[in-house]
Structure 1
Amino acid sequence: MENRWQVAISAGLLAAVWAGIADTFSLVTWIGFLACSTYFAQPKSGFQGVLMSWATNLSGVFWAWIVIAGSGYLESPLVGYLLTGIVTGAMCLQASYHKLAFIPGAFIGCCITFAMSGDLANILPALILGALLGYSMTLLTGQLVSLPQRWCGFTGSSTATKATAKTTTND
């Protein structure tokens, strides 16, 4: 990885900001980090990556909710086992649709929902913001990578201006 320092600075800074925001607004920090990880792991870049992260994570939330609701409604562990199998197959099959093609994103959303016992009020805000956190890290890293180029360009134009002024004075 060529830009390791820029990635480290960007990720570290924005992770700290996220932790502070999550604490301030009582969001579940680790859910945001999993959504951020989904953003980096899925194949799309830019805001298209955010959309794919949201779509796959939220589909997993939906599938887990089906298992939780179905198991609670029928009150049988066997129903929960059966629904888990059906939902697992469905999360894999949904990848036929290109906007849901990142299967691990669905599994991450599903696991988050199981871990949070289906508490959508605490899941959804952190999941949505977490993908934006990943996107923000990418944008900040890009700015940090281009900073030396912009600095050199600024210094170079200053030198060129001095050289032009010197030539003009000597004429």
Structure 2
Amino acid sequence: MEHRWQVAISAGLLAAVWAGVADIFHLITWIGFLSCSTYFALGKLNFQGVIISWATNLSGVFWAWLVISGSSYFETPMVGYLLTGVVTAAMCLQASYSKLAFIPGAFIGCCITFAMGGEIGKILPALIIGSLLGYSMSELTSVLVALKLKWHKRLQGNGAAISSPNHTSS
């Protein structure tokens, strides 16, 4: 990874900011980080990636809510098992639609909802902000890379030698 330092600085800085914001506003930090991870795993480092990560994560929240709600009407756990199978198939089949094609995003949203016992009000804010966190990390990394390149050009224009780990002097 050519720009490891820029990635590390932007990710570390914004992760710390997110942790503080989540604490102040009583948001679930790990949900935001999972949503951020969905954004990066998707590989579309632009606002379209934010939209797709929202769509897939939120679809998973919906599917888990359906299992939780549906199985609560019956006393036997068998209904929950059956609904889990149907929902798992549905999360895979929804990938036919391009905005829902990232199946892991649906599973992440679904797992978050199960882990939170279906508390949608606690899930949604962190899930929405988490994708924006990923986008912000990506954008800040781009700014830091551009600054580094500008700095290197300025040094080269002044005749200064730039040493790199791969450069050996004779």
For 1:120 and 1:33, locate their aligned partners in 2 and report how far apart those are by CA, in whole Å: 17
| Pairwise CA distance, 1:151 | 2.6
Instruction: Kindly report the root-mean-square deviation, in angstroms, between the aligned alpha carbons of the 2 structures.
Output: 1.5
Q: TM-score, length-normalised on structure 1? A: 0.89
Structure number with higher helix proportion: 1
Q: What letter matches 1:148 in structure 2?
A: K
For 1:56 and 1:98, locate their aligned partners in 2 and report how far apart those are by CA, in whole Å: 10
Q: What letter matches 2:145 in structure 1?
A: V
| Pairwise CA distance, 1:124 | 0.1
Q: Render the CA deviation track for 1:77-133: whole Å, top value 9, x for unaligned.
A: 000000000000000000011110000000000000000000011000000000000
1:127 maps to 127
Out of 36-45 and 111-120, give the one that drifted further.
36-45
2:13 maps to 13
2:60 maps to 60
Q: What letter matches 2:99 in structure 1?
A: K
Query: Are the aligned partners of 2:31 and 2:126 in contact in 1 as well (CA < 8 Å)?
Result: yes
Query: Are the aligned partners of 2:45 and 2:138 in contact in 1 as well (CA < 8 Å)?
Result: no
Are 1:26 and 2:21 an aligned pair?
no
| Pairwise CA distance, 1:152 | 4.1
Runs of 4+ more than 6 Å apart: none
Q: Render the CA deviation track for 1:12-60: whole Å, top value 9, x for unaligned.
A: 0000000000000000000000000000001323000000000000000
Within 5 Å, give how 1:76-91 maps onto structure 2: 76-91=76-91
2:103 maps to 103
Q: TM-score, length-normalised on structure 2? A: 0.89
| Pairwise CA distance, 1:155 | 5.9
Identity %: 73
Q: What letter matches 1:102 in structure 2?
A: F
Give the total of aligned pairs: 159
2:45 maps to 45
